[in-house]
Structure 1
Amino acid sequence: MSHRISVRNAGVDDVEAIYTLLQPFVVKNIILARDRDNIFQHLQEFLVADYDGELCGVVAVHIYGENLAEVRSLVVSPAHQKHGIGRLLVEGCEQWLAALGVARVFALTYVTGFFERMGYAVVSRESLPHKVWTVCVHCTRFADCDEVAVEKRLSDAPIKPMRILPIIEINEA
């Protein structure tokens, strides 16, 4: 039996499902908590995965500048793991970031093997800019963080996306 898996930008109708999907991972202290208001406020940062029409995965991407972005809140429901959905979500983030001109992407994770298989390398957490830690200070494990930083270069230099402008003609008589 074939299954349909799709990755798309999140919409307002997805907020409750995103919140529900994130909660078990928040309870296990795998990801930082996000309330519904936070999800609404950052909705433009989210991609979701549908498996046969059911929302089964989510990821957020936060851009720090033209050279750096973070993959955050990557979650796939336990019932849908091992189907390549996490990989599709991260690849979706990478394509999105490359199109925007971002050169590097990182994640703070407990599953380094997953990211290493996708071309990420383990890096020192201290190598990340100070502004990255503005979110981390809200974590209960901030002083005793055991997450590992991984990073991938999407390009050696920022990619400057080509802008296509409409042609405007004015005919003066």
Structure 2
Amino acid sequence: MSHTVRIRSAAAGDVDAILSLLKPFAEKNIILERDKDNIFQHLQEFLVAEYDDRLAGVVCVHIYGEKLAEVRSLVVDPAYQKHGVGRLLVEGCEKWAKGLGVAKLFALTYVTGFFLKLGYRIVSKESLPHKVWTVCVHCARFADCDEIAVEKMLADTPIRPVAVMPIIEIDDA
């Protein structure tokens, strides 16, 4: 049986589904909690994955400047894990960020192996700019953070923006 995974920019009509996807992971303190207003306010930063037309995953890319962006709130519905959805979401982030001219992506994660397979490398959290930590103060684990920082160079120097986020489709045969 063949399946189609499509990565696209999030739309206003996706907010309730995004909230539903994020909530169980936030309750387990795997990601920071977001409410509906926060998702609407940052909607332009979200990409979603549709697996056979069902919302299967979500990711957020927060831009800090032309040199740095963060992969945030990466979540794949457990029913769709191990189908390449997370990888496609991160690749979508990379294409989108590169298209905006961002030189480097980073993430704070508990699943370093996943990011290492995608070409990221482990870095010291202290190597990240101070402004990165502004949302971390809202985390229950802030005082004793056990996440690992990973980063990937998209370009040696900021690149010239190209086009808007293309739609990515694959057939999962």
- Alignment TM-score, normalising by the size of structure 2: 0.93
Aligned-partner SS, 1:119: coil
Q: Which residue of 2 aligns with 1:86?
A: 86
CA contact (8 A) 2:48 2:58 kept: yes
Deviation of the 1:161 alpha carbon: 2.5
User: Residue type matched to 1:75 in 2?
Assistant: V
Deviation of the 1:111 alpha carbon: 0.2
User: Residue type matched to 1:33 in 2?
Assistant: E
1:45 maps to 2:48: no
Q: Which residue of 2 aligns with 1:120?
A: 120
Aligned-partner SS, 1:32: coil
Aligned-partner SS, 1:4: strand
Q: Work out the number of aligned pairs and report it.
A: 163
1:74 maps to 2:38: no
Question: For 1:118-157, what aligned pairs fall within 5 Å after superposition?
Answer: 118-157=118-157
Greater relative contact order structure (CA < 8 Å, 6+ sep): 2
Q: Which residue of 2 aligns with 1:166?
A: none
User: Residue type matched to 1:150 in 2?
Assistant: V
Q: Which residue of 2 aligns with 1:97?
A: 97
User: Residue type matched to 2:110 in 1?
Assistant: Y
Q: Which residue of 1 aligns with 2:166?
A: none
Bigger Rg over Cα: 1
* Distance of 2:72 and 2:9 partners within structure 1: 15
Aligned-partner SS, 1:159: coil
Deviation of the 1:162 alpha carbon: 5.8
1:107 maps to 2:107: yes
- Point out where structure 1 has 5 or more consecutive residues left out of the alignment: 164-173
The structure with the largest strand share of the pair is 2
Question: How far does the alpha carbon of each residue in 1:135-165 deviate from its partner, in whole angstroms, 9 at most, with x for none?
Answer: 11111110000000000000111102369xx
* Distance of 2:73 and 2:161 partners within structure 1: 27
Question: How far does the alpha carbon of each residue in 1:43-102 deviate from its partner, in whole angstroms, 9 at most, with x for none?
Answer: 000000001110010000000000000000000000000000000000000000111100
Q: Give me the CA root mean square deviation.
A: 0.9
User: Residue type matched to 2:146 in 1?
Assistant: D
User: Residue type matched to 1:127 in 2?
Assistant: S
Q: Which residue of 2 aligns with 1:23?
A: 23
* Distance of 1:143 and 1:12 partners within structure 2: 34
User: Residue type matched to 1:57 in 2?
Assistant: G
- Alignment TM-score, normalising by the size of structure 1: 0.93
Report sequence identity in percent.
Answer: 72
1:61 maps to 2:61: yes
* Distance of 2:133 and 2:153 partners within structure 1: 20
CA distance 1:80–1:162, change in 2 (3 Å): closer
